[in-house]
């Protein structure tokens, strides 16, 4: 198959999933064409059967807001025709599903059918899509897609509740992880020693947006730190990074908190972690949490959104009430004890492989593509 993939290329789970999907599809013999304004951050520069088509946004002094969605629709239309694409798979509804619908309509005028698969990821449904400025077009574009997928059952339910797309089939296709890359056994002790100097390493990876509640991560860590030596390694960057650093200074633990900034390839870091902390107030899935689990890192997370579908409470980690940093610290301290840690670490790696391995999930997308391509599909 020749598949066009559109996603946000910058840091973020939806771009990471879309890119890993494209790489996996190419490895399975498909031809994959990424269409976006920038090279996706997880895409190495050359891979057989993987191509990148940049959307250039023509500007004009009249445009205070250059219309990216239109430039994207035109580029999608061009690439479908020039490369003979079979279908488009867009990640994150806004504006990608809308641009895909425009491209599809332009092609229909020319007698060309273009199936569109839309994957809903999170805030496209829970926040941005429900903003009055976008709600009607988001619903319209989702409903015009030939196949709709959501990354968790929770997100599917939210979509139906927020948009009422109840007459439309939504398949739950979870995010996935490559267990050969996120594999603790591939990495030595060196990085763990470097990061923690012999102390347990707690880790958090995100884009530091308000929804991630990174100050709660620091507060929970401070309570762990009060009970035993440990370090907190924070990876990523975003609007609340400064607030997290400030919180660490205020709590007097700045010396034990290391903010590493944005790092593209996090597998070695996760393999050097003992515990992963997610304090998000909403998380449709939690890709970093899954990558941590696959790396044998138990996760302490807030009981929100799709996280309970990813973390098995009491088995691969712990779920605590949102904002309850006491409960978070207590769970972390329990899990840092040698026997509970060993059991949870082994269970986490095994569960991630059993339920979310790349091969199985990508096969489900292939099946959906085949359905959408079938006559009348």
Residues that bind ligand GMT (CB under 6 A): 8, 12-15, 17, 121-124, 151, 175, 211, 282-287
- Phi, psi for 277 (deg, rounded to 5): -120, 125
Least gap, CB of 124 to ligand GMT (angstroms): 6
Q: Cβ closer to ligand GMT: 7 or 248?
A: 7
Q: Cβ closer to ligand GMT: 123 or 145?
A: 123
Least gap, CB of 330 to ligand GMT (angstroms): 24
Least gap, CB of 265 to ligand GMT (angstroms): 17
Q: Cβ closer to ligand GMT: 18 or 349?
A: 18
Q: Cβ closer to ligand GMT: 137 or 346?
A: 137
- CA dihedral over 172, 177, 178, 183, signed as positive or negative: negative
Distance CA 341, CA 347 (A): 10
- Phi, psi for 118 (deg, rounded to 5): -115, 125
Least gap, CB of 19 to ligand GMT (angstroms): 11
- Phi, psi for 199 (deg, rounded to 5): -95, 160
Least gap, CB of 112 to ligand GMT (angstroms): 30
* Separation of CA 108 from chain center: 32
Least gap, CB of 22 to ligand GMT (angstroms): 14
Least gap, CB of 14 to ligand GMT (angstroms): 3
Least gap, CB of 87 to ligand GMT (angstroms): 20
Structure tokens at 61: 């002094």
Q: Cβ closer to ligand GMT: 8 or 34?
A: 8
């Amino acid at each position: 198959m020749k598949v066009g993939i559109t996603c946000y290329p910058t840091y973020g789970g939806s771009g990471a999933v879309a890119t890993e999907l494209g790489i996996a599809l190419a490895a399975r013999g498909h031809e994959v064409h990424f269409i976006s304004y920038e090279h996706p951050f997880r895409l190495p520069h050359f891979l057989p059967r993987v191509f990148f088509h940049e959307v250039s946004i023509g500007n004009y002094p009249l445009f205070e807001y250059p219309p990216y969605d239109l430039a994207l629709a035109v580029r999608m239309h061009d690439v479908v025709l020039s490369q003979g694409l079979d279908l488009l798979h867009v990640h994150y509804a806004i504006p990608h599903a809308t641009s895909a619908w425009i491209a599809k309509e332009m092609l229909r005028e020319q007698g060309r059918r273009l199936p569109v698969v839309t994957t809903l990821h999170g805030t496209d449904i829970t926040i941005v899509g429900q903003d009055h400025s976008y709600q009607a077009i988001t619903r319209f574009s989702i409903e015009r897609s030939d196949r709709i997928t959501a990354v968790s059952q929770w997100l599917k339910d939210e979509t139906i509740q927020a948009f009422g797309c109840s007459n439309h089939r939504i398949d739950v296709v979870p995010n996935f992880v490559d267990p050969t890359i996120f594999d603790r056994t591939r990495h030595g002790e060196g990085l763990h020693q470097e990061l923690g100097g012999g102390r347990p390493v707690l880790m958090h990876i995100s884009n530091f947006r308000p929804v991630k509640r990174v100050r709660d991560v620091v507060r929970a860590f401070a309570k762990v730190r009060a009970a035993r030596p440990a370090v907190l390694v924070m990876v990523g960057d975003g609007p609340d990074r400064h607030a997290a650093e400030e919180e660490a200074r205020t709590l007097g633990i700045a010396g034990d908190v290391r903010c590493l900034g944005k790092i593209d390839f996090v597998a070695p870091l996760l393999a050097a972690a003992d515990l992963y902390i997610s304090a998000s107030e909403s998380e449709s899935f939690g890709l970093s949490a899954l990558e941590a689990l696959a790396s044998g890192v138990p996760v302490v997370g807030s009981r929100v959104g799709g996280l309970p579908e990813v973390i098995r409470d009491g088995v691969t980690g712990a779920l605590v009430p949102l904002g309850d940093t006491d409960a978070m610290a207590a769970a972390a301290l329990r899990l840092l004890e040698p026997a509970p840690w060993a059991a949870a670490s082994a269970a986490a790696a095994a569960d991630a492989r059993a339920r979310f391995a790349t091969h199985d999930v990508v096969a489900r997308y292939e099946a959906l593509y085949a359905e959408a391509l079938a006559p009348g599909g």
